[in-house]
């Protein structure tokens, strides 16, 4: 697929990027090269390749999903300048 100057101009307009006229042709060549490279990648056979989430095969440590200590909301808001029913009270921003 080849990208033309008109296509680059339209993309720049949609992205709200002001590109001078003398930069449109080089950008068209660069975008065409990128699209050709992606088309080459589509031809690679990846049927037996397992997906990976990282380049390093490390298992993340897991912890039990249990409820820890809680119930001390009064202690948390004890030093707050203003509080209401165990919640921080802050000044209104919008009127």
Give DSSP secondary structure letters for 36-57. Answer: HHHHHHHTS--TTPPP-S-SS-
* Crossing angle between the packed helical segments 21-42 and 5-14, to the nearest 10 degrees: 100
Tokens representing residue 95 in the block: 């009127």
pLDDT, residue 92, reads 86
pLDDT, residue 49, reads 87
Report CA torsion sign: 79, 80, 82, 86. negative
CB 3 within 8 A of CB 35: yes
pLDDT digits (tens, 9 = 90+) for 8-23: 999 999 999 999 999 9
Question: What stretches in the chain show pLDDT beneath 50?
Answer: none
């Amino acid at each position: 697929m080849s990208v033309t100057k008109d296509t680059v101009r339209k993309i720049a307009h949609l992205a709200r990027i002001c590109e001078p006229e003398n930069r449109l042709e080089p950008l068209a060549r660069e975008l065409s090269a990128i699209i050709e490279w992606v088309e080459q990648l589509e031809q690679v056979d990846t049927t037996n390749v397992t997906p990976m989430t990282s380049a390093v095969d490390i298992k993340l440590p897991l912890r039990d999903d249990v409820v820890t200590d809680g119930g001390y909301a009064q202690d948390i808001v004890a030093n707050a300048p203003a509080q209401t029913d165990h919640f921080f009270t802050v000044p209104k921003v919008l009127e």
